[in-house]
Amino acid sequence: MSDKQQQVSGSLVIAEALVQLGIKHVFGIVGIPVIEVANALIARGIKFISFRNEQAAAYAASIYGYLTGLPGVCLVVGGPGVLHAIAGVGNASANHLPFLLLAGSSETHQVEKGAFQELDQVAYLAPHTKLSVRPASIEAIPTLLEKAYRTAYFGRPGPTYVDLPADFIQGSVAAATSAVRKIAPPGPAPRAAADPARIAQAVALLREAESPLLIIGKGAAYAQAEGAIRSFQETVQLPFLPTPMGKGVLPDDSPLNTSAARSAALKSADVILLLGARLNWILHYGEAPKFRPDVKIIQVDVAAEELGNNAGSAPLGIVGDINLVVAQLHDALVQLGSGTLGNGSGKLPAAIEAVKERNTQKARVVENNNVVPLKYQSVYRVIREVLARQPRKVVYVSEGANTMDISRSAFPLNEPRTRLDAGTNATMGVGLGYAIAAKAVDPASLVVAIEGDSAFGFSLAEVDTAVRHHLPIIFFVINNSGVYHGVDPARYENQEQNPLPATALALDTKYHLLGESFGALGYEVRDLQQLEAAVTDAVKKDQVAVINVIIESGKDKKLEFGWMASTKKAKL
Ligand code: ADP
């Protein structure tokens, strides 16, 4: 063998390391100097899903991490590529999603010379990641990749970053050096059980509670704790409330689900067991008036620093993995001979049941209103009914303001990790990347993205990504010609006298034609018959589809999410 044959390129060293970590998909966009890396990945059997904008690629990789429990990987160019991908880093950091970003960077000897796409990416990303590093040599790449991958999901999940200088990618090392020595996948994240004293304290509180409530957040879904939580719930029969992405950990169709009586359930709870959710805006900080001022919150989280925040109680908090902590609580209750908690009936308290019934009836009336122009609720009823007729698991992605908010209660879920939305930061533009990742994770599922027209616009070119990579997804564009409630068409008639508000988008944009131009199926619908026909056809044809649903626009409503109203009333 000649010396040349015994050399391996830096790009191959990177690809080998990712293969050895067990990575199946990488999301990203290529350019100098990472094109060789992507080609090496493809040659080694990793699927490289190439996007149209690094933002969407980074969002896709981060939610891939949420869905699989292992970090999603994104590869981009340096400079502007990293700046775009930072949107995904920030989103992963805010949502605690495991995510490894890799980016090319200018050659190591060109630092501060104004090199091609030069940026101090390690420094840029350091405040927003759990680890942000540049390897010192090609040989150092595999172990650092392993460390960054592991760091992203061990402990509290979050983003990490590895910088890949062009001279390392294009350079080579002797095959016999440590650069190509085997690294092993770190395996499942280690899980910590709770302090038994905290378990005993929590069990005593739960047993004494008159009106206990279980709240399930997306941390429980991410932890894949549905087995432990379902088994616990079989014994304790607690009224429960999922957060938007905590839906499906316990089936929404359970009689103990209080979602339709959310405010009443929160207001009446004296003891709350909070599994994998922060007391942030989504849960009104745990504060009055939404919560009882004397409520006792037993928060279970993998991150000790989360316990005691806002109206949380630090002394009641439990650090540990939800799977293990819930099993500990369950065992302790069983040992004490406890069965059903709360009112002991295994049913919702009568007052909450009455509110649930009333609200469910009200929602039914609204969704059966078949007027044209269409309204969200009747649109969602028809989509729900058509999807229920097909056998596949459905994963719902939803983003937008009203589009997302109203969809939360319109699509009951019975499986975890089947609703992906704008999350902790209410990030608009995540939907297409999330849908693409969800389809890549589970090709047998039916992925639908229910997008507000404004939200869809952030990354609509990713329809091309779905088409190119043969990832059939149904994109619904809920089109009211604007942000929030859209804009009254009359406002377009004389814009000199009546200028368009900042919430306006172009009237009746032909999103279905944009979809068709990328090779997707396109449908424009204005009534429920057309909608039913379009959804039925798209499901049957199993191709990427863009269904442009023109709905009523222009109703002047308050600009806020349902959640926010009561928060503003809270005393600070
Ligand atoms: P939501 O948006 O549903 O309210 P959050 O994102 O606010 O949920 O909270 C999720 C929480 O779950 C985070 O604080 C995170 O630390 C926590 N978490 C993630 N994985 C685990 C786990 N395995 N065990 C316990 N807590 C976890």
What is the residue extent of each domain of the chain? 7-174, 196-349, 369-550
Question: Does ligand 1 have an atom closer than 6 angstroms to the CB of 262?
Answer: no
Distance CA 525, CA 523 (A): 6
Q: Which residues contact 361 (CB under 8 A, 6 or more apart)?
A: none
Q: Which residues contact 506 (CB under 8 A, 6 or more apart)?
A: 481
287 CA → ligand 1 middle, Å: 19
Q: Is the pLDDT of residue 38 over 90?
A: yes
Q: Is the pLDDT of residue 3 over 60?
A: no
Question: Does ligand 1 have an atom closer than 6 angstroms to the CB of 306?
Answer: yes
Q: Which residues contact 117 (CB under 8 A, 6 or more apart)?
A: 32, 77, 78, 79, 80, 81, 104, 105, 106
Among protein residues, the one whose CA lies closest to atom 15 of ligand 1: 219
Q: Is the pLDDT of residue 462 over 80?
A: yes
For ligand 1, pick from 93, 130, 222, 323 the residue to mutate: most ligand atoms within 8 Å of CB.
222
Question: Does ligand 1 have an atom closer than 6 angstroms to the CB of 144?
Answer: no
pLDDT value for 344: 86
Q: For residue 177, what pLDDT band results from cuts at 50, 70 and 90?
A: confident
**Predicted structure pTM score:** 0.96
> What residues pair up with 547 in beta bridges, in sequence order?
476, 523
In this prediction, residues 111-127 reach a mean pLDDT of 96
Distance CA 89, CA 58 (A): 7
Question: Does ligand 1 have an atom closer than 6 angstroms to the CB of 530?
Answer: no
Compare 499 and 212 and report the one with higher pLDDT.
212
Do 196-349 and 369-550 have matching folds? Answer: yes
Whole-number percent of the chain with pLDDT over 70 = 95
pLDDT value for 534: 98
410 CA → ligand 1 middle, Å: 24
Mean pLDDT, the chain, whole residue set: 94
In contact, 269 and 295? CB cutoff 8 Å: yes
For ligand 1, pick from 266, 285, 301, 306 the residue to mutate: most ligand atoms within 8 Å of CB.
301
Distance CA 229, CA 214 (A): 10
Give the atom of ligand 1 at the shortest distance from the alpha carbon of 322.
Answer: 24
96 CA → ligand 1 middle, Å: 7
Question: Does ligand 1 have an atom closer than 6 angstroms to the CB of 319?
Answer: no
pLDDT value for 559: 52
Distance CA 314, CA 296 (A): 11
In contact, 65 and 97? CB cutoff 8 Å: yes
pLDDT value for 439: 98
50 CA → ligand 1 middle, Å: 30
Q: How many other β-carbons are positioned within 10 Å of the β-carbon of residue 378?
A: 21
Q: Which residues contact 367 (CB under 8 A, 6 or more apart)?
A: 377, 378, 380, 381, 410
pLDDT value for 572: 35
Question: Does ligand 1 have an atom closer than 6 angstroms to the CB of 222?
Answer: yes
Question: Does ligand 1 have an atom closer than 6 angstroms to the CB of 91?
Answer: no
C-alpha 388 chain-centroid distance: 23
For ligand 1, pick from 95, 272, 319, 322 the residue to mutate: most ligand atoms within 8 Å of CB.
322
For ligand 1, pick from 156, 274, 325 the residue to mutate: most ligand atoms within 8 Å of CB.
156
220 CA → ligand 1 middle, Å: 6
Per-residue pLDDT of 426-445, as tens digits, reads: 999 999 999 999 999 999 99
Pick the CATH number of 369-550 from 3.40.50.11930, 3.30.499.10, 3.40.50.2000, 3.40.50.970: 3.40.50.970
Question: Does ligand 1 have an atom closer than 6 angstroms to the CB of 290?
Answer: no
356 CA → ligand 1 middle, Å: 27
Question: Does ligand 1 have an atom closer than 6 angstroms to the CB of 40?
Answer: no
Distance CA 83, CA 79 (A): 6
Give the atom of ligand 1 at the shortest distance from the alpha carbon of 424.
Answer: 2
pLDDT value for 393: 97
Q: Is 147 exposed, middle or buried (0-12, 13-18, 19+ CB in 10 A)?
A: middle
60 CA → ligand 1 middle, Å: 19
Residue 295's region, left for phi above 0, alpha for psi from -120 to 50, else beta, is beta
Whole-number percent of the chain with pLDDT over 90 = 89
Q: Is the pLDDT of residue 184 over 60?
A: yes
Give the atom of ligand 1 at the shortest distance from the alpha carbon of 219.
Answer: 12
In this prediction, residues 107-134 reach a mean pLDDT of 96
Distance CA 311, CA 149 (A): 34
Per-residue pLDDT of 12-30, as tens digits, reads: 999 999 999 999 999 999 9
**In which residue are the tokens 């900080």 written?**
285
pLDDT value for 4: 52
Q: Is 496 exposed, middle or buried (0-12, 13-18, 19+ CB in 10 A)?
A: exposed
3-state secondary structure labels for all residues of 48-96: EEECCCHHHHHHHHHHHHHHHCCCEEEEECCCHHHHHHHHHHHHHHHHC
Question: Does ligand 1 have an atom closer than 6 angstroms to the CB of 219?
Answer: yes
Question: Does ligand 1 have an atom closer than 6 angstroms to the CB of 515?
Answer: no
396 CA → ligand 1 middle, Å: 20
In this prediction, residues 453-464 reach a mean pLDDT of 97
pLDDT value for 570: 41
pLDDT value for 39: 98
97 CA → ligand 1 middle, Å: 9
pLDDT value for 1: 41
Per-residue pLDDT of 470-493, as tens digits, reads: 999 999 999 999 998 888 888 888
In this prediction, residues 509-521 reach a mean pLDDT of 98
Handedness of CA 344, 350, 352, 357 (dihedral sign): positive
Distance CA 271, CA 69 (A): 30
Q: Is the pLDDT of residue 563 over 60?
A: no
> What is the separation, in whole angstroms, between the first and last Cα of the chain?
74
What phi and psi, each to the nearest 5 degrees, are found at residue 533? -65, -40
CATH fold group of domain 196-349: Rossmann fold (3.40.50)
Q: Which residues contact 61 (CB under 8 A, 6 or more apart)?
A: 26, 27, 28, 71, 72, 73, 74, 88, 99, 100, 101, 437
Per-residue pLDDT of 40-53, as tens digits, reads: 999 999 999 999 99
pLDDT value for 571: 38
In contact, 131 and 161? CB cutoff 8 Å: yes
116 CA → ligand 1 middle, Å: 40
64 CA → ligand 1 middle, Å: 16
Question: Does ligand 1 have an atom closer than 6 angstroms to the CB of 282?
Answer: yes
Class of domain 7-174: alpha beta
Compare 528 and 556 and report the one with higher pLDDT.
528
For ligand 1, pick from 96, 226, 245 the residue to mutate: most ligand atoms within 8 Å of CB.
96
